[in-house]
C-alpha cells in the first residue's frame, strides 16, 4: 500500500470516528456548530503547491542572522503525514536567529482572513521544551513590508499535534517591524502569509503539515471599540471630549448590539473637587455601520491653585466587541507652577522642575528608547521616558512628512499623561538631509561637503536639513559627525569632512545651519533643530584590525595616540563645536589608548574625557547622549555598565529596547549610592535645559507649516550646488571636460543611473540600498536634462562606435559603519564589471571616469588610459549638480578632503605624514575655470607678497584668493606627474591655508612647483 493509500484509510477512519461522536451529541448543538463554522481554508498543504521561492512570487523561503542560521527545508514524504503524502521538514542549528516564511505573491492582492477564528497547523513534537515563534503578516505592501503579529507555542509533546491559534492570541511584535510598523491594528483583510522562528542554541529538527484557517470569527474578534486617543489633556476647568467608536474588520456593519459602559474612576484627580464624575452606557444597535461613534464628556473643575497634572481614567466595559487595549485618561494640565512660565530664565525653570521630580522621573528623563520598542506608547508615561529616536530605517508607514508628524505627536500626547508633562525630545540620524524620509532633500555626505571647501554652503545644507527635519515634528538631529578620518579603510570615512582637523573645523558652520545662533535663542524656531557633535573622541583614528565588534576591522576599534596628537587632531573639532554652542555630544563606540598604562578604555567609560575635558575644560553645557546600546560594550555586569557610563558623564542613555532595564538599574544604583544625586541632577538639568530652549514645553507638537518645502525646488537647489561643488577633477588630459552639448556621449557604469548608490548609506535605511529608493535625479538623468546627446549602456555592451566621448560612472554600493570596513567583505577596488566598463569605453574613445564612492578607489593601474578622472563622492539626490560641472554650467572647484592613495598598503596616509607619496595629494583639485593663472615662479613670487600683506592686514578673503591662484598654477604644471617631492608640500599648503598661514601656504606651493 502506498503512503497516499495509508493516509486515505487513516483519514477515513478519523472522519468516521468524528461522525460517530457528532451523532452522540445533542442535535441542536451539533447542527448549530455545523452551520456556524465555515470550511477550513488551506494556506499550505506542503504537497508542492507552494514552491520554494521568494518575493515577488509566492513561496517558502528561509532566513537567518548569518550564513549558518537559515534552516534546511525539504518537502518530505511521510507515511504518517496528517494530511496528504508530504510534510515540510527541516534541520536547524541556529546561533543568532533563523526560520522560514510563506509569503503570498507581492504582485497580487493580499488575502482576506477576517471571516475565520484563527490559524492552525500540525506540528511533529520533539518534546524538547523549547518555544517556537509563529507570526502572521498583516497589511502593508507585501509579505516583506507588512506588520508582524506574533505568538508562540511550546514543544512539550511527542508526535503530531494540531496547534490552534485564535487570531485574538496574536500580539503586535515590538522588537522588530520590517517597515517600522503600520497602524498596530490586526486588520486580517490584507494578509501576506506567516513565518516561523525556530529555537536557538542547539541543533534540532522539525516537521509541519496542513496550515489552514479555521472556525468562524465571532464578533468580539471582528468588532472592536476604540477611542480617538489614549490621552485627553484639558486645561483646568475645561471639558474633555472622549470619542468612542465601534469598527469592524472589513468595515461591515455589526451583527449584534455592542454596549459600552463608562465610568470615571481612580487616577490622581479627586472626584468632585477636580472633576465632575460621569457614569453611563452607550449602545450601538445591531446593523450599526463600522466607524460610528459617540462622545463622552468629562467636565473638570477649577480650584485656582498651582499643581501638577492630574489624571481621570475613563473605565470602559465593553460587551459584544473587543474593548480598547487601554483605558483612556483625561489629564488635567499642570498649571500655576514656575517651570511652566516661559518668561522666566531657563535656569530658574530647570531648578524649579528638578526640585519637584522623583528619582524615577529623573531616571526616565535620562532614558531614550527606540520608537519600535514601545508599541502603542503606553510606556512613555509608565516609565516617564525623556526621549525617543528613530534608528536608521525606523519610519512610519507611509513614510511621509504627515505620517512622521502624526506619529511623533502621538508620542508627545503620551508624555502629557505624566505628572509634570515633560515633553519628549525626539531624535533622528539626519546626517545628510532628513535621510530617513522618502522624498526629502538628500545632501552629499560630509566627505563631499568637505570637498567643497565652502563653509557658507555647508551652513546652508545644515539649514535645509533642519527645516525639513523640524517640519516633521523632530527637534533633534544626531549630526554632524566631527570625526577626522585617518584611514579610508574605515566604513564611516564618508561621514567625515576630511582627514585634516582644520578642514573639519572650517565645515562646522553646519552647526549654525542646524541650530541657528550660538546662544541657542533660535532653537525654538520651526526651522531649527538641536545638533549633536559626534563621536567624542577619536573615532576616525581607530587602527586597522583593532575592532572587536563582530567582523568589523576598523570601526569601534582602538585609537592609540599621544596626548599631543589627540589634542591637535581629534579634540580640536569638538572645542570648535562647543564654541559654536552645539547642544548635545555623542561619545564614540571606540576605545582610546593614550599610552599611559591604562590600555584601551571605551569612550563611554572615560570620565577624564567626558567630565574632565568636554564638560569642565571645554565648558560644554549641553547634554551627552550615548550611542546605540554602547554601554553594553563596557566591562562588568549591567549595573556596572550603567554606573560607569553615568558617572563618566553620559547624561542620557540610548537603550533602544532595554529602556526598562536601564531605568530600573539606574534607580537601584542611585539608591545604593553608587551614582550620586548630584550626578543625576546634573544630567537631568542639562536635558531639561535643552527642552526648554527648544520651546517644547510651550509647543510639544509638530509645527508642519514648513512641510510643503520638504524636497522643494529651493531646497534641492542647495543640494544641487553642494553636489556640483563637491566634484573633484583629478585629471583632465586634453580638456575632455567640460563636455559640449553637441557631442555624442556614451554613458556606462554601475553608478550612472542608480539613486541608491548615488546617495550611499544612511539613506531611507541604515545601510542604504541600491535602486530607486527615494525621489531624485541620477547622474544620467541630470546629463539628459542638461541637453546632452546621451546613449546609456550600463555594462558597456552596446556598440561604442560613433561617439565623441565616453563617461563611465563607477564606484561603490551603499554601506554604513563597520559593515563597510575594508576587510569586512569590502576593498578599495572597482568591481570586475566596473573595470570592464572602464576598459571598454576608454579603449574606444576619449573618456571621463566618475567615481561615486564614500572613499578613494584604487585607479592607478588604469589612470594612463583615462583622459579625465572625477571623484564624485556620494552626491545625494541631485544628479543635476554633477551634470552642471560635466557640461560646464558650473566650473569644477572641488578639492580632495582626503589623500588619494596609490595602493591599499599605503594606508593610513594623511597630510603631514613624514613619508607621503600618494596618487593625488590632499587638497588636489583641477578646475575648468578659463582664467587659470600662468607666469610660473614670477607669478608665485607676486602671489606670495599679496598673501603675506593680506595676512598681516587680516584680509582673509584676499589672502585665500592668492593661495588659490597659486594652487591652480602649481597643479597646471604638475598635471598627473605627482611625485612625493611635489605632493607633500602641496598637501601641507592646503592645511596652512585652512589654519590662516597664507604666506607659508604660498611658500609650500612654490616648493611643490619647483619639485614638479
Report, as residue numbers or ranges, the catalytic residues. 627, 817
| Residues pairing with 61 in the sheet | 101
Name the residue among 411, 426, 422 with its Cα closest to residue 380: 411
Counted residue by residue, the chain has a size of 1012
User: What CA–CA distance (Å, rounded) separates 396 from 145?
Assistant: 12
Nearest Cα neighbor of 437 from 755, 773, 141, 147 is: 773
8 A C-beta contact, residue 820 and residue 827 = no
* Cα 788 to Cα 887: distance, rounded to the nearest angstrom: 8
Grid coordinates given for 200: 536557538
d(CA 699, CA 702) in angstroms, rounded, equals 8
Rounded CA-CA distance 749/728 in Å is: 19
Dihedral over alpha carbons 226, 231, 234, 240 (to 10 degrees): 20
Say if CB 357 and CB 684 are below 8 A apart. yes
Helices (H) then strands (E): counts for the chain: 26, 37
* Euclidean distance between CA atoms 264 and 755, whole angstroms: 55
> Of 703, 697, 699, nearest to 335 (Cα)?
697
Q: Do residues 465 and 430 touch, judged by C-beta distance below 8 A?
A: yes
Q: How far is residue 146's CA from residue 136's CA, in Å, rounded to a whole number?
A: 9
Which uninterrupted H or E stretch holds 61? strand 59-64
Count other Cβ atoms within 10 Å, centred on residue 237: 13
By the 8 A CB rule, do 484 and 573 touch? yes
- Given a contact cutoff of 8 angstroms between Cβ atoms, the answer to whether 588 and 534 are in contact is yes
Report d(CA 246, CA 226) in Å as an integer: 6
Q: How far apart are CA 4 and CA 17, in angstroms?
A: 20
Closest to 937 measured CA to CA, from 1001, 1006, 1005:
1006
* 281: helix, strand or coil: strand
Contact 918, 981 (CB under 8 A): no
Strand 387-390 and strand 425-428: pairing? parallel
CB of 534 within 8 A of CB of 427? no
User: Which residues are paired to 593 by β-bridges?
Assistant: 560
Measured CA to CA, the distance from residue 966 to residue 587 in angstroms comes to 40
The residues pairing with 826 across neighbouring beta strands, listed in sequence order, are: 822
CA distance 851 to 750: 10
Sequence-ordered alpha helix ranges (H) in 446-525: 446-452, 455-470, 501-506, 509-515
DSSP labels, 140-173: SSSTTSSEEEEEEEEE-SEEEEEEEEEGGG-EE-
For residue 447, give the C-alpha cell.
Answer: 566627505
Tell how far CA 516 is from the center of its chain.
Answer: 24
Angle at which helix 998-1011 crosses helix 956-974, to 10 degrees, equals 10
Q: Which of 51, 67, 43, 71 is nearest to 132 (CA)?
A: 71
Cα–Cα distance between 792 and 801 in angstroms, integer?
13
Cα(894)–Cα(333) distance, integer angstroms: 55
Say if residue 535 is preceded by a cis peptide, omega within 30 of 0: yes
Amino acid at each position: 500500500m502506498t503512503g497516499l493509500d495509508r493516509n486515505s484509510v487513516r483519514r477515513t477512519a478519523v472522519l468516521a470516528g468524528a461522525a460517530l461522536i457528532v451523532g452522540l451529541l445533542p442535535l441542536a448543538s451539533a447542527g448549530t456548530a455545523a452551520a456556524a463554522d465555515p470550511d477550513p481554508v488551506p494556506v499550505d498543504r506542503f504537497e508542492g503547491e507552494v514552491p520554494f521561492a521568494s518575493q515577488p512570487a509566492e513561496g517558502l523561503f528561509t532566513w537567518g542572522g548569518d550564513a549558518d542560521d537559515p534552516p534546511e527545508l525539504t518537502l518530505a514524504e511521510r507515511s504518517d503525514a496528517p494530511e496528504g503524502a508530504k510534510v515540510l521538514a527541516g534541520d536547524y542549528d541556529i546561533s543568532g536567529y533563523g526560520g522560514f516564511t510563506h509569503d503570498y505573491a507581492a504582485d497580487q492582492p493580499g488575502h482576506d482572513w477576517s471571516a475565520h477564528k484563527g490559524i492552525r497547523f500540525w506540528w511533529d513534537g520533539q518534546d524538547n521544551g523549547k518555544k517556537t515563534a509563529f507570526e502572521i503578516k498583516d497589511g502593508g505592501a507585501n509579505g516583506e513590508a507588512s506588520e508582524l503579529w506574533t505568538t508562540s507555542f511550546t514543544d512539550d509533546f511527542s508526535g503530531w499535534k494540531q496547534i490552534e491559534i485564535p487570531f485574538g492570541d496574536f500580539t503586535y511584535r515590538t522588537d522588530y517591524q520590517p517597515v517600522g510598523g503600520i497602524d498596530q491594528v490586526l486588520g486580517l483583510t490584507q494578509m501576506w502569509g506567516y513565518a516561523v522562528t525556530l529555537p536557538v542554541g542547539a541543533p534540532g529538527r522539525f516537521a509541519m503539515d496542513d496550515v489552514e484557517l479555521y472556525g468562524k470569527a465571532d464578533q468580539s474578534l471582528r468588532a472592536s471599540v476604540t477611542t480617538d486617543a489614549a490621552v485627553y489633556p484639558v486645561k483646568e476647568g475645561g471639558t474633555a471630549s472622549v470619542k468612542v467608536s465601534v469598527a469592524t474588520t472589513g468595515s461591515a456593519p455589526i451583527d449584534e448590539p455592542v454596549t459600552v459602559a463608562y465610568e470615571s474612576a481612580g487616577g490622581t484627580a479627586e472626584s468632585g473637587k477636580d472633576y465632575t464624575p460621569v457614569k453611563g452606557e452607550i449602545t450601538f444597535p445591531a446593523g450599526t455601520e463600522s466607524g460610528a461613534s459617540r462622545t463622552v464628556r468629562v467636565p473638570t473643575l477649577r480650584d485656582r491653585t498651582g499643581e501638577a497634572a492630574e489624571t481621570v481614567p475613563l473605565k470602559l466595559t465593553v460587551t459584544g466587541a473587543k474593548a480598547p487595549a487601554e483605558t483612556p485618561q483625561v489629564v488635567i494640565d499642570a498649571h500655576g507652577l514656575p517651570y511652566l512660565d516661559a518668561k522666566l530664565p531657563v535656569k530658574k525653570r530647570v531648578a524649579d522642575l528638578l526640585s519637584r521630580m522623583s528619582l524615577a522621573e529623573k531616571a526616565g528623563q535620562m532614558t531614550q528608547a527606540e520608537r519600535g520598542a514601545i508599541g502603542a506608547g503606553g510606556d512613555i508615561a509608565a516609565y516617564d521616558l525623556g526621549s525617543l529616536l528613530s534608528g536608521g530605517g525606523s519610519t512610519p508607514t507611509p513614510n511621509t512628512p504627515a505620517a512622521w508628524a502624526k506619529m511623533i505627536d502621538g508620542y508627545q500626547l503620551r508624555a502629557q499623561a505624566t505628572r509634570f508633562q515633560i515633553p519628549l525630545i525626539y531624535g533622528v540620524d539626519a546626517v545628510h538631509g532628513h535621510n530617513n524620509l522618502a522624498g526629502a532633500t538628500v545632501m552629499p555626505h560630509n566627505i563631499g561637503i568637505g570637498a567643497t571647501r565652502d563653509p557658507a554652503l555647508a551652513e546652508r545644507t545644515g539649514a535645509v536639513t533642519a527645516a525639513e527635519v523640524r517640519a516633521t515634528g523632530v527637534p533633534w538631529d544626531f549630526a554632524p559627525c566631527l570625526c577626522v578620518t585617518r584611514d579610508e579603510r574605515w566604513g564611516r570615512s564618508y561621514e567625515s569632512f576630511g582627514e585634516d582637523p582644520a578642514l573639519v573645523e572650517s565645515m562646522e558652520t553646519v552647526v549654525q545651519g542646524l541650530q541657528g545662533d550660538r546662544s541657542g535663542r533660535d532653537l525654538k524656531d520651526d526651522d531649527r533643530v538641536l545638533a549633536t557633535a559626534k563621536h567624542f573622541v577619536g573615532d576616525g583614528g581607530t587602527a586597522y584590525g583593532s575592532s572587536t565588534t563582530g567582523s568589523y576591522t576598523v570601526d569601534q576599534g582602538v585609537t592609540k595616540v599621544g596626548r599631543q596628537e589627540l589634542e591637535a587632531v581629534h579634540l580640536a573639532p569638538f572645542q570648535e563645536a562647543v564654541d559654536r554652542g552645539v547642544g548635545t555630544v555623542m561619545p564614540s563606540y571606540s576605545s582610546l589608548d593614550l599610552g599611559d598604562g591604562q590600555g584601551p578604555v571605551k569612550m563611554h567609560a572615560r570620565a577624564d574625557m567626558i567630565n574632565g575635558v568636554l564638560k569642565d575644560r571645554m565648558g560644554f553645557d549641553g547634554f551627552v547622549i550615548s550611542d546605540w546600546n554602547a554601554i553594553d560594550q563596557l566591562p562588568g555586569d549591567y549595573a556596572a555598565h550603567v554606573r560607569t557610563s553615568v558617572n563618566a558623564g553620559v547624561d542620557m542613555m540610548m537603550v533602544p529596547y532595554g529602556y526598562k532595564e536601564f531605568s530600573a538599574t539606574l534607580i537601584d544604583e542611585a539608591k545604593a549610592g553608587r551614582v550620586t544625586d548630584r550626578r543625576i541632577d546634573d544630567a537631568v538639568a542639562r536635558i531639561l535645559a535643552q527642552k526648554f530652549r527648544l520651546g517644547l514645553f510651550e509647543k510639544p507638537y509638530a509645527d508642519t507649516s514648513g512641510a510643503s518645502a520638504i524636497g522643494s525646488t529651493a531646497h534641492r537647489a542647495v543640494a544641487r550646488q553642494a553636489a556640483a561643488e563637491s566634484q573633484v577633477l583629478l585629471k583632465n588630459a586634453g580638456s575632455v571636460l567640460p563636455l559640449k552639448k553637441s557631442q555624442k556621449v556614451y554613458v556606462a557604469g554601475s553608478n550612472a543611473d542608480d539613486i541608491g548608490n548615488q546617495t550611499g548609506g544612511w539613506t531611507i535605511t541604515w545601510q542604504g540600498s541600491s535602486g530607486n529608493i527615494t525621489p531624485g535625479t541620477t547622474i544620467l538623468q541630470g546629463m539628459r536634462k542638461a541637453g546632452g546627446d546621451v546613449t546609456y549602456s550600463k555594462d558597456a555592451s552596446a556598440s561604442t562606435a560613433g561617439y565623441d566621448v565616453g563617461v563611465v560612472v563607477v564606484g561603490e554600493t551603499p554601506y554604513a559603519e563597520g559593515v563597510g570596513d575594508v576587510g569586512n567583505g569590502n576593498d578599495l577596488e572597482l568591481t570586475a564589471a566596473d573595470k570592464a566598463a572602464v576598459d571598454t569605453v576608454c579603449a574606444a574613445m576619449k573618456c571621463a571616469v566618475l567615481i561615486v564612492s564614500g572613499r578613494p578607489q584604487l585607479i592607478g593601474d588604469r589612470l594612463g588610459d583615462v583622459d579625465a578622472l572625477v571623484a564624485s563622492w556620494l552626491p545625494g539626490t541631485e544628479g543635476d549638480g554633477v551634470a552642471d560641472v560635466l557640461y560646464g554650467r558650473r566650473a569644477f572647484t572641488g578639492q580632495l578632503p582626503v589623500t588619494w592613495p596609490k595602493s591599499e598598503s599605503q594606508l593610513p596616509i594623511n597630510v603631514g605624514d613624514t613619508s607621503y607619496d600618494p596618487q593625488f595629494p590632499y587638497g588636489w583639485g583641477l578646475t575648468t575655470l578659463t582664467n587659470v593663472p600662468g607666469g610660473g615662479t614670477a607669478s608665485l613670487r607676486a602671489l606670495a607678497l599679496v598673501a603675506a600683506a593680506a595676512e598681516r592686514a587680516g584680509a582673509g578673503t584676499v589672502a585665500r584668493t592668492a593661495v588659490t591662484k597659486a594652487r591652480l598654477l602649481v597643479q597646471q604644471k604638475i598635471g598627473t606627474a605627482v611625485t612625493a617631492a611635489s605632493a607633500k608640500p602641496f598637501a601641507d599648503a592646503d592645511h596652512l591655508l585652512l589654519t590662516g598661514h597664507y604666506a607659508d601656504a604660498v611658500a609650500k606651493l612654490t616648493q611643490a612647483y619647483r619639485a614638479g
